[in-house]
Amino acid sequence: MRKRSGRAERLFVLGVVFALAAGEARAAEAKVKTLAAGLSYDYFSRTVVWKGDTASSKILANMVSARADFGLGKDLVFSLSAGLSLTDFKGLSFGSLPISLQFDGAPLKGLALGAEVAAPFMKFGDFEISATGRVVLSFGMSKTWPLEGFAVEGEAQGRPNWMEISVGPRFAYLLFGRVVPYVEVSARWLRAVFRMTEILDELDGVEKKQVNGDISFGVSLGADATVSDRLAVKAKAGIMPFAGGVDGLISFGLLYRF
């Protein structure tokens, strides 16, 4: 695996920080003008190579969150979300522990926190281009598995955390009235850490698996639909192609405008 320059990763983080900071600054200028709250569901799959591994494996993440969208004027929208994540790490192996472990269990629960900003910056004709940025963090809950069949009692304990940052432009078409379809192109940066502890009587070990800044590029089709004066639906589906396969993402939200 070639070592990747950290420059692009730093640029990502800077980009998102900049976008969020810009949102904050504009929020300070213009007070919250609209507020919407609701539920959202997000899913993504990422094919990654964990540091030190030779084979790729998949991370499948599902998140259900409560979400609040703050309209800050000039069509700038800043969102916060908090909820539950279920992340599947099937096939991930921990080969440096005294007894190698391979994860093949149910998805692991976690606390998901997210922040998102969409800031329109250009309009031409019936189109609008926005800059979007999103950060999602999942703080995994610790899970313990008994290690059975050994001559002594033992257990393994794992805790996964991950963070995904995505930035990119959104091209929206405004002339459909209540439905605003868009195409979004995003660069998605993922960092994941899965810490596994193994204890077998007097034998113990800790292994930390890491994905340090895996970057994928995706394109999504989505739409923001106003169902009524109060209800809005947001939906998005996309793909993240890579040589030999395609990862996917789905997002769906139902919001009530106050």
Binding site for other proteins (CB under 8 A): 1-2, 4-5, 7-9, 11-12, 15, 47, 49, 54-57, 91, 93-96, 98-105, 125-127, 145, 147, 149-152, 154, 156, 158, 167-169, 171, 173, 175, 181, 183, 185, 187, 200-203, 205, 215-217, 219, 221, 239, 241-245
Torsion of CA 198, 200, 204, 206, to 10 degrees: 0
Q: Residue 21 or residue 152: which is nearer to other proteins going by CB?
A: 152
Three-state DSSP at 151 gives: coil
Least distance (Å) between residue 74 CB and other proteins: 20
Least distance (Å) between residue 105 CB and other proteins: 5
Q: Residue 37 or residue 45: which is nearer to other proteins going by CB?
A: 45
Q: Residue 115 or residue 147: which is nearer to other proteins going by CB?
A: 147
How far is 25 from 27, CA to CA, in rounded Å? 5
Q: Residue 242 or residue 252: which is nearer to other proteins going by CB?
A: 242
Three-state DSSP at 49 gives: coil
Least distance (Å) between residue 21 CB and other proteins: 17
Q: Do residues 91 and 57 touch, judged by C-beta distance below 8 A? A: yes
Least distance (Å) between residue 79 CB and other proteins: 21
Least distance (Å) between residue 66 CB and other proteins: 27
CA nearest to 177, candidates 132, 227, 131, 236: 227
Q: Do residues 50 and 211 touch, judged by C-beta distance below 8 A? A: yes
Residue with tokens 């799959």: 45
What is the torsional sign of CA 100, 102, 106, 111?
Answer: positive
Q: Residue 25 or residue 99: which is nearer to other proteins going by CB?
A: 99
